[in-house]
Amino acid sequence: MNTTDKGLSAWGLTMMALGTVVGGSFFLGVAIAIRAAGPAVVIAYILGGALVYLILFALSEMTVADPAPGSFRTFSQRAFGPGVGFVVGWVYWTGLILAMSSEAAAVSVLLRIWFPQISLPILGLSIITGVTLINLLGADRLSKLESGLAVVKLLAIVGFIVLALALIAGFIPNRPAVGIGALGREPLFQKGISGIAGSMLIVMFTYAGFEIIGLAATETADPHRTVPRAITYTVLALVGLYTIAIALLLPLIPTANLTEEVSPLVAALETKGVRWAASVINVILVTAILSTMLAATFGLGRMIRSLASEGYAPLWVKDKGDIPYRGIIFSGLAMLSGFGLSFVLPQRIYIFLVSSGGFSLLFTYVVILATHYKFRKIYGCPPKGKCQLFGYPYTSWFAIVLMISIIVSMPLIPGQGSGLAAGLILVIFFTITYGLSKHVVNKKPGIIRRKDK
C-alpha cells in the first residue's frame, strides 16, 4: 500500500500506539506483576521501559529505511529468509489473538456487572463483532476514535496520580495523610531478584502493542519524520505514567491484597474510601480494553494481509485495497475462537492467555532486535535519517539477552509455565507447518533494501 498525503500524523500514530498498549493488561493484569515482585515492581517497570525504548528505535531505524507492509515480519524475512518471516508473522498474529481474547474475556466480566441479564458468551460475541466492524471503516476514522479513547485512558491514569498524591500528602479534607503507608511495611525486594524476573513478562505485556507503530508506518505521509517522533512521544508517555502510577499505588494498599480480578487502582482507592473514583476507573477500564482491542485488530488485519501477500496464508484472505477487509474479518473470527477457550480451559484462563500471548510478543521482540543487529551490521544508519539506537551493538546484545531471560523466567510465576509451553508449541508448530507447506512462495533471502541503493 502506498503512502498518501493524508496519512497518519505523529500524534495519530502515537494515539494508535497508546490505544493498543494502555489496556486491561495495565488496569487489571498489573496486579500479577505487583504481587510477584512487591515494591520492586517499580524497577521492573523502569527496566521494561528501557527495553521498549531499545526495541522501538531498532524498529524505527528499519522502518525509516523502508516502511514496508508487514513491518518487522518483512524485515526478518529479508534478513533471515522466508522461514523466519513465516514463523514470526504467524506466532505474532496468534499471540495477539490470544491476548485480545483475554481482553474480551475481561471486559465481558466487567460488563456483566451492568448487564446481568446478558450471558458472558453473548457479551463477548457482541464486543468482538463490534470491534471488527469498526475496523472495517479504515485507518483515518479509527485513528480519530482511538485518539479520543487514548486521551480518556491517559487522563484516567493522570487522575489516579493526582488522587493518590492527595491521599499520600493529606490534601483531602477529613482524611489523614497516608504517607508511605503500606510501602513502609514491606521490604523492597520481598521476593528477591526472582520476583523481579518473574514479574517482567506481565510488565512487558502491559507495554506490548507499541510495535503497531511499525505496522502502521505505511499509512503515514512522511515516515522518516513521523515514526521517530511517534516513538519518542509513546515511550515518554508510557514509561512516565506507568512508573509514577505504580509508585504512588504502593503506599495505598498492601501488595498481598491485590488480585487480577479487580483493578489495583480501583482496589487502592476503595481501600481509602474514595469509592466514587473507583467507580469511574471501572468505567475507564472498560473503555481501555475496548480501545486496545480496536487498535490491536488494526495491526492484526495488516499482519495477516502481509502473510497472505507472500503466499503464507489462505488465498481468500488476500486483500489489495487500502483496508484489509478479509484480514480483519478473519482476525475477528479467530478472536471469537480464542474467547471460546475461556469456557473450556481452567479458571486461570486469564493468566494463561496473557502469558501465552506474552511469550509470542516477546519472541517477536527478540527477532526484531536480531534483525536490526544484522541490518546495522551491513548497512549502518538508515538513509534520510540518523542512528537513533545509542550504544549499538552493546545495547542490542543487552536487550536480546534480557528478553530471553524474561522468557526463561516465566515458570517462576504460577500459571505462566503453561503459557511458556503453549508459546513454544506455537513456534514449533509453525516451523513444522512451514516445512511441510507446499504453498509457500520461496524467495531468495536478503536484507532490507535501502532506497538510495
- Confidence tier at 346 by pLDDT (50, 70, 90): low
| Sequence-separated (6 or more) residues with CB below 8 Å from residue 43 | 37, 196
∠ CA 347-194-94, nearest 5°, is 45
- The sign of the torsion formed by the CA atoms of 438, 443, 445, 448 equals negative
Which residue in 330, 72, 80, 326 sits closest to 218, CA to CA?
72
Instruction: Specify the DSSP class assigned to residue 220.
Output: B
Q: What is the model's pLDDT at position 237?
A: 85
Q: What is the model's pLDDT at position 113?
A: 76
**Residue 9 above 70 pLDDT?**
yes
Q: What is the model's pLDDT at position 69?
A: 66
> 8 pairs with which residues across the strands?
220
Taking only the tens place, the pLDDT of each residue in 84-97 is 999 999 998 988 88
Query: Where are the chain's structural domains?
Result: 10-436
User: Burial, 14: exposed, middle or buried (Cβ in 10 Å; 0-12, 13-18, 19+)?
Assistant: buried
| Sequence-separated (6 or more) residues with CB below 8 Å from residue 56 | 210, 211, 213, 231, 234, 235
- State percent of the chain over pLDDT 70: 87
Q: Which of 101-115, 325-339, 375-389 has the lowest mean pLDDT?
A: 375-389
Q: What is the model's pLDDT at position 334?
A: 92
Q: What is the model's pLDDT at position 25?
A: 72
Q: What is the model's pLDDT at position 358?
A: 77
For the chain, give the number of residues: 453
Give CA separation, 400 vs 49, 60, 77, 123, 420, in Å: 15, 17, 18, 40, 18
Give CA separation, 268 vs 34, 40, 114, 239, 271, in Å: 13, 18, 22, 21, 5
- Confidence tier at 283 by pLDDT (50, 70, 90): confident
Which CATH number among 2.102.10.10, 3.40.50.1980, 1.20.1740.10, 2.60.260.20 corresponds to the domain 10-436?
1.20.1740.10
Give CA separation, 307 vs 72, 84, 311, 316, 391, in Å: 12, 12, 7, 12, 33
- The sign of the torsion formed by the CA atoms of 387, 390, 394, 396 equals negative
Q: What is the model's pLDDT at position 450?
A: 44
Taking only the tens place, the pLDDT of each residue in 216-239 is 766 777 777 787 788 888 888 888
Q: Which of 159-173, 258-272, 427-441 has the lowest mean pLDDT?
A: 427-441
| Other C-beta atoms lying within 10 Å of the C-beta of residue 233 | 17
Which residue in 427, 413, 382 sits closest to 205, CA to CA?
413
**Residue 345 above 70 pLDDT?**
no
Q: What is the model's pLDDT at position 133?
A: 92
Give CA separation, 110 vs 213, 290, 310, 398, in Å: 29, 12, 40, 39
Contact 319, 331 (CB under 8 A): no
Q: What is the model's pLDDT at position 444?
A: 45
Q: What is the model's pLDDT at position 385?
A: 55
Q: What is the model's pLDDT at position 265?
A: 85
Residues 373-392 have a mean pLDDT of: 77
- State percent of the chain over pLDDT 90: 17
Residues 249-259 have a mean pLDDT of: 86
**Grid cell at residue 57:** 528505535
Q: What is the pTM of this model?
A: 0.82
User: Burial, 432: exposed, middle or buried (Cβ in 10 Å; 0-12, 13-18, 19+)?
Assistant: exposed
